[in-house]
Structure 1
């Protein structure tokens, strides 16, 4: 069976989150914030596109891009360089919204990780550790204060949180 490839969606959505909510200064902080954003985007993408067929369809149709998200956070995306425009087309608004919810709500993060455990994605990826998402330590929290701030992420998280909760309930995981 071919492994579902959501790497472009995950990478672009994580990149958008880190650019919209920059880490604290320093290389280590940037790396830790990126790891948290990538873990959140991975779990959100695996929930959103649970099968190889779903992943294949999004690869064909495209995820929609960051336009609405950019507008929502007040980013000026009208004069983007071509290389910035290209990766932004792979941002998935729903994945970003779900990832924002997971980053700001530990109960949802734990439920989402439980929901993807044993999925087609984890079967293909092997043993995956989402500790930076579900149990961030003090270093993780200091590295990404904006990325973990519930009030700042609320506009993005609210966009599609109801769908996330519905997906988690459908997966028989109680999101709290």
Structure 2
């Protein structure tokens, strides 16, 4: 099982986050910078949640659960009027990964510990050169583009869903999903 096997989950969860907390200021650059930050947070969270090829294979078979609870918590309308096919990607959203990503985006200390755990723990990230600069050290342009995505008060309801589980995982120094 390769990292790419989590790509539908990472893409859908990133899309959900950037849809719920869109880039500030508009424009193509803001959209890209916001998405990059969300994708880095979601990638780190997914690799922590599904650290082994077996974990990744199981989530691909069972499915990650979808965005229904997240939509309800944030007041997002996941149904819409465009028909079910337009929202099929929402079935690939992982609530725990979205919650953990929200934690990483709003707590720099936790983000640093998570990336360090990935580097030390092997798992999905073993041998994969990945840079998490926009997650760990956003510059002023990054922060401006992702003002909503990084706002602790706005992300609090999503982050609170599974924050305790993430902290417990990082405190015990393991990247095994709880």
TM-score range, shorter chain: over 0.9
Displacement of 1:121: 1.8
**Unpaired runs of at least 5, structure 2:** none
Normalized against structure 1, the TM-score is what? 0.93
Number of aligned residues: 171
**Structure 2 equivalent of residue 8 of structure 1:** 8
Displacement of 1:95: 0.2
Kindly report structure 1 stretches of 4+ aligned residues shifted beyond 6 Å: none
For the residue of structure 2 that corresponds to 1:13, the secondary structure is helix
Give distance in 1, aligned partners of 2:111 and 2:69.
24
Q: Deviations over 1:43-89 (max 9, x none)?
A: 00000001000000000000000000000000122335334321000
Map 1:93-172 → 2, pairs under 5 A:
93-118=95-120, 119-124=122-127, 126-171=128-173
Map 1:53-68 → 2, pairs under 5 A:
53-68=54-69
Give distance in 2, aligned partners of 1:15 and 1:170.
30
Among 82, 90, 93, the alignment partner of 2:92 is 90
Displacement of 1:19: 0.1
Give distance in 1, aligned partners of 2:51 and 2:170.
12
> What RMSD in Å do the two structures reach over aligned CA positions?
1.4
Give distance in 2, aligned partners of 1:162 and 1:64.
20
Displacement of 1:97: 0.2
Give distance in 2, aligned partners of 1:34 and 1:76.
20
Normalized against structure 2, the TM-score is what? 0.92
